[in-house]
Structures are given as C-alpha cells and as structure tokens.
Structure 1
Amino acid sequence: MTPKTIGRPTLILVHESEAACRRRLAAAGFVEPCISEITSYLAQSTDMEPEFGMLERACAERGVAFRPIALDDAPASFQDCDPATTLVWTLTDGIAYFRGGAAPALARLYGLPTIGADDSVSALCQDKFRAGSVMRALGLPAPAAGLARGGEWIVPPPASASGYFVKPNRLGAKIGIWEDSRCASPAGALELSRRIHAHYRDDAIVQPYVDGRNVRASFLSVEPRAGMERLGICFVDSGSDFQTMADSMALYGETGTRAREEGSRSEPRLHAVCGVQPRADRAIRDIAARLIGGLGLADVFSMDLRVEADDIVHLIEFEVCPGLPCFDFRAYCLENWGLELAEAMAATAANRLIRDPSLSAGEAHRSMP
C-alpha cells in the first residue's frame, strides 16, 4: 500500500463531472434531451473547474495545498491521505442520478474530516419527500406533500384550494421543472407524475402551492464559530413565479457558458430580505438555527423558501452542497465575507486546518452554535 501523504495541510475538493454522468445515463438507456437536462444539475462542477487554479493559489497563500479529485478517483486517493492534515469538501451531491453523496461516506470510511453536514444528512436532503417529513417533525414550516409514481398515489396529497406544485422527488433541488409544474387538481398532479416518470424515471412530490416570493438563504462558515448573523437571505427575482429547468440550464454549466458567451444570459436580481421584511428575515434565521440543531447542518448549506407579504415563511428545501459557483452564492461571499468565492473557500479550509488548533478538523462540523 502506498504510504499516506503526511505533512502539508490539504484541501480535497471532490466533484462529479457532467461528462461522467452523461456516459452513465446513456449506458442506462436515457436519451436526449433528458440526458442534458439531468446532467445540468452538475453544472457547479463544470463552472468550478476553470477556477481550480485560482483556488489553488488562494489556498497556497494560506499555507494549504489544494487537490481537486474526480469522484471516481476518490477511493484510491483517500486511502493515501492523513486524517490529521486533510479536509474533504464535496462539491457535487446526489443519491440517484448523481453519486456525489458517496463522497462524505467515503471520507468517513477512511477517517477523513469533512466540510459540511455528515453523510446521512447529505442523503436525506436529496429525497424531498423524506426530508420534508423530517422537517415537519421538527416543527418547521415545510409544506405537507403527497408522493406519486407514474400516475399512482403512494401517499395522497392534502387538500389544497390553491392547487399543487409537482416536481421530481430526487432530481436536484429545483423549485420547478416545466412551466405547467403548478396544476389545479390531484388529477392534474397525477398526469404530471406520469410525465416525470417517463422523462426521469422518478417519483413526483406533490405539494400544495404556496404563495409568496422566492428566497434563497446561503451560509458558509468561513470562521468555524460563525453563527446565524452570517446567514445571507435574499429575494431571488427572476421575473417569473418559479424557476424551470430551462431557466436553470440558461444560467449554469455548458449551456449557461454558451449563453454567457452569446450575451443572452440574464441573472435574477437579488434583494436582501431584511430591508423589506425584517420579521421574515428573523424567522428564516430561526429556521436555519433549528435545522442546525435538529439535523446537524454545518459549515455550508442553503435553503429555498417562499415568503408571503404578511411574513409567513414556507421552507421548501435545504441543500448541504449548494451550487458554490452560482451567482447567488458568489454574491453571498462578497456581501457577507468580503471575499471572492475562491478566497472564501480557501479561508474556510485554512481556518480549520491551521488557524484554530482548538478545533480538530474532525470536530469542525460540530462547532456551530
């Protein structure tokens, strides 16, 4: 066995590429355009790769080595790492179409400390129906939901005078797929579930439609003991009620890169919630703190919410591997930490590996209040 790499503190960034996922989907019998739609959820890997050089330099300035590792190479790479000087950061997640959720579990297998919540939470947040059930059990304002599989109810949804919102249960963390993802009746929801099953071979989560504006809450604990004062909470105004698959593909990954080069890319506008609805801002910070205490969210995460005009807050989803190179997370790093993305990531790693010896790297994910 190769001797373990001992010595210089090292940040390992594990990522699954769109190309690798595309090959696996094709081998499994998926066809276009579904392959491109599904793999677009790995856009953070595509968008991050050109910045590996910047991240390496930012880490080096702080005394940390940087190693980006493709997910398939992680098992062989991990067995050579020293837990005392290594920190693993998982860039891409997934338990169904994608496999990034295996990275935190592999790190635990080899005794390597990680940035972020533990592997059980990484798996939970990828199943919207189960995650919603747990959030409601914790008393959080997550909409009740039904679950359908190819036109058949597994769990019927609650009655809803406002209609329903229907989306794949395990495909990424979008707030919608098609323009007609909102429907009026359970029968319409079942029809959408048939389309979802035909396109993506997935169950459909069916939630009562909730009114309000879309909100993204982002968090990165650059300093290990950072609290909810560092949570960034913004309205995300795109000009539409919810984001569709087409909207997402126009912003990120290979399609987003082409749109940017052609000058056709238009990013949603971000507005701080605290300046408009301070009560809702405080409620969202309380929700995040309860997710930390109840589920063990740590270090880096995001939440998608809907906020009504009277400050009623609905927690739609949470993510433990948010899209770091996305426009909203970059804006968060600048606004809340005064750092570009690469600098914020490097500082986060250095603060755990070097600056705060009172926190062993293995305990860093449990350091938040």
Structure 2
Amino acid sequence: MTGKSPTLILVHEPERACFDRLLADGFPAQAATEISSYLAQSTDLAPEFEALADACAARGLDFRAVELDDAAEVLAACDRRDSLVWTLTDGIAYFRGGAAPALARLNGLRTIGADDSLFALCQDKFRAGAVLAALGLPVPAAGVARGDKWLVEPPASSSGYFVKPNRLGAKIGIWEDSRIGKAGDALALGRRVFDAYRDDVIVQPYVAGRNVRASFLAVDPDAGPEVLGIVFVDSGGDFQTMADSMALYGDTGTAAKADGSYSEPELVHVGSVQPVAAATIRRIAARLMAGLGLRDVFSLDFRVEADDTVHLIEFEVCPGLPCFDFRAYCRAEWHLSLVEAMAETAARRIG
C-alpha cells in the first residue's frame, strides 16, 4: 500500500472476535456461536480480500481491510481527501460495527452507505417499525416482550403471530415454532429468547405470502430504485429458521458444505411473476431512500401475498454482500462479480 492512491477501507468485525467477547461476557458457547454467526459475511468475504485488492488496483485504488478493533486508530490516521470507508458488518448491541461510520464521521472521512443513525435504527426492529409506520409504509404492527412480561402488547390478530428477537438478525432465535396461534403463547418464546440471548422479542401479526429480498448497490452513484434486484427467496418452508441460515454462511456454512447438507434457496425474480408487487416494492424503496436516507448499499425484506399485497418486514444497511443472493444480484444487474462491483462502486466515488 503506497498511501498515494485513493484508498478503499473496508471495516469488518470477525466472527471470532465477537465469539470471544461474548464468552467473556458470560454467554454459553452455543449461544455465542449462534449470535456471532451474524458476522458470517466477514468470514465469507475474507478469502476474497486479495481479489478485491486486485480489482481496486485495476481501477487506481488502494485497498485495506481493517478489523473493527483496529478501526479507531486506522481511521484517525487516514487522509480525508482520498479515503473512503465501507462498513461491512453493523451492530449496536451484540455486534459493534455501527461504530465504524460514526468513527468515519468523527474523522471527516467519506463513507459508502447510510449514516450512522440508521446503523443504530435498523438494529432495533421495534423502534425501526415505529419509524417505518410513521413514513406510511406497510409494516406489520408489533408488540414487544422482555422475558415473560409485555412491554407493549401486540394488536389483535386472526392469523396468529410471529415472534423473533428484537436486536438479533440472520434468523438468530427464529425456530420452527416461532409462528404461534395466540399472543399469550409469545411469552414462553420471549422467556426462551431472553434466557438464551438476553434480548427482547418483537411480536407481530403473522402475514402470509412468500419471502422477498430486494438488494441495492449503487455502482453508479446516480442509480435509484430502478436498479433494485427483487427476488423471491424460496427455501422450501414458510420461513427461514436459524438452523437454515447457519447452514448457509460463515464457519457453520463451510461445515455444511463439507458434510453435504448445504443447499441454497431458489431465487425467482418477482417482476416475472408478480410485476404489480415488484412495482410496489420499488415505490417503497424510493420512499425509504428519500424519507429515511437509505443510499449506496442496502437490502429490504418483504412478504408478498398472491394478490400482490406487500408487507415490509425490515431493512438492512449492511446486507450480506458475499451471500448467494447478493452475488446473483451483482451479476444480473451490473454484470460484475461481487469484488468487481465493490471496487467499481468505490472507484466511481473516489477514483
């Protein structure tokens, strides 16, 4: 690294660093393994750092991957004129990546992605839902419980409820019995989640439909919702569980490949099947970009019913870039591999 070329700095929190910290904080090894699996993209992208450096070099950029624990020192020494910070992994509770864009802002450095306030918001599903509802978006109403006590009771529902941890992603704490019939049954799951992970649960009326992922990367800085990649993610069940997710990514995904149990969900473009729903999703994305401030790179999760009713479930400011669906999006929309798309995105901003 010469220090003379514009530099892309990729900040990431390794699974192992998170695992060790959770053990030190008293979490059992199994819970620490499950929680730290959220950072699988750090594990999965690391073998491609050299290829990413080559792709950057081909575009006149230097590249530096920085572990989160080193970020404060590294970012403080960066030249604000020719440095660009891309935060790979987020987090405000069990994970700490949300500090990276704040550190970049503290040091006057340009960033890829949303500002640090959204890094915090997206990690709290209950608070995020309140903001999304205020924007007039079709997000399910919710209650929240801590252990076996309601903090906010959920609305009445004739379709049952879905229960998941409030501040954990990557399907952590979602089990086969996370769909329930009565609101009162949520408190047993709330106790189970709190005992395992020390987290609250969000309790929402169950919404029918297929799971949809909308991926966005503005390789072209002027790109808008028209480049959104919108696909059904069909895993064979009504919803993905923690076991399903852990078998796809990170160290546990590698083990699944080794023992032959790895299986990627099928991706089907929503526009080819339900174009009305796809158009609705693009309008929602436009509203989120204008009203919430999503930009550069993000993903959105939906449930889409057969009659084109769309339910917004959540948004992510640090989508799983090395995941199969985001790689497929880069190939389909930008005709680039993942590392080429990342390098081109950076080059068009600081190259």
Opposite residue 174 of structure 1, the aligned amino acid is K
**Offset of residue 32 of structure 1:** 2.5
Opposite residue 78 of structure 2, the aligned amino acid is C
User: Which digits, 9 at most, give the CA deviation of each residue in 1:120-161, with x for residues without a partner?
Assistant: 011100000000000000000000000000110100000000
User: Which digits, 9 at most, give the CA deviation of each residue in 1:307-353, with x for residues without a partner?
Assistant: 00000000000000000000000000000000000000000000000
**What is aligned with 2:209?**
212
Which whole-Å CA distance do the structure 1 matches of 2:32 and 2:179 have between them? 24
User: Would the aligned equivalents of 1:166 and 1:176 in 2 still touch at CA under 8 Å?
Assistant: no
TM-score (norm 2): 0.98
User: Would the aligned equivalents of 1:15 and 1:100 in 2 still touch at CA under 8 Å?
Assistant: yes
**Offset of residue 175 of structure 1:** 8.7
**What is aligned with 1:49?**
46
User: Would the aligned equivalents of 2:165 and 2:172 in 1 still touch at CA under 8 Å?
Assistant: no
**Offset of residue 260 of structure 1:** 1.6
**Offset of residue 173 of structure 1:** 4.9
Opposite residue 23 of structure 2, the aligned amino acid is A
Which whole-Å CA distance do the structure 2 matches of 1:39 and 1:174 have between them? 12
Residues 1:326 and 2:316 are matched in the alignment: no
Which whole-Å CA distance do the structure 2 matches of 1:112 and 1:285 have between them? 30
**Offset of residue 222 of structure 1:** 0.3
Which whole-Å CA distance do the structure 1 matches of 2:171 and 2:301 have between them? 9
**What is aligned with 2:141?**
144
Which whole-Å CA distance do the structure 1 matches of 2:95 and 2:182 have between them? 31
Which whole-Å CA distance do the structure 2 matches of 1:176 and 1:310 have between them? 30
Which whole-Å CA distance do the structure 1 matches of 2:16 and 2:172 have between them? 25
Which whole-Å CA distance do the structure 1 matches of 2:85 and 2:273 have between them? 38
Q: 1:300 aligns with which of 297, 302, 311?
A: 297
**What is aligned with 1:111?**
108
**Offset of residue 6 of structure 1:** 5.9
> Identity of paired residues, percent?
70
Report the secondary structure of 2:29's partner residue: coil
**Offset of residue 172 of structure 1:** 1.6
State the Cα RMSD in Å: 1.1
Residues 1:336 and 2:320 are matched in the alignment: no
Which runs of structure 2 are paired with 1:132-171 in the superposition (5 Å)? 132-171=129-168
TM-score (norm 1): 0.93
Which consecutive unaligned segments of at least 5 residues does structure 1 have? 355-369
User: Would the aligned equivalents of 2:172 and 2:242 in 1 still touch at CA under 8 Å?
Assistant: no
Opposite residue 259 of structure 1, the aligned amino acid is A
**Offset of residue 262 of structure 1:** 2.9
Which consecutive unaligned segments of at least 5 residues does structure 2 have? none
User: Which digits, 9 at most, give the CA deviation of each residue in 1:176-206, with x for residues without a partner?
Assistant: 7100000111111111101010000000000
Residues 1:63 and 2:60 are matched in the alignment: yes
Structure 1 pair 211/166, CA: closer, same or farther in 2 (3 Å)? same
Which runs of structure 2 are paired with 1:256-271 in the superposition (5 Å)? 256-271=253-268
Q: 1:124 aligns with which of 111, 121, 132?
A: 121
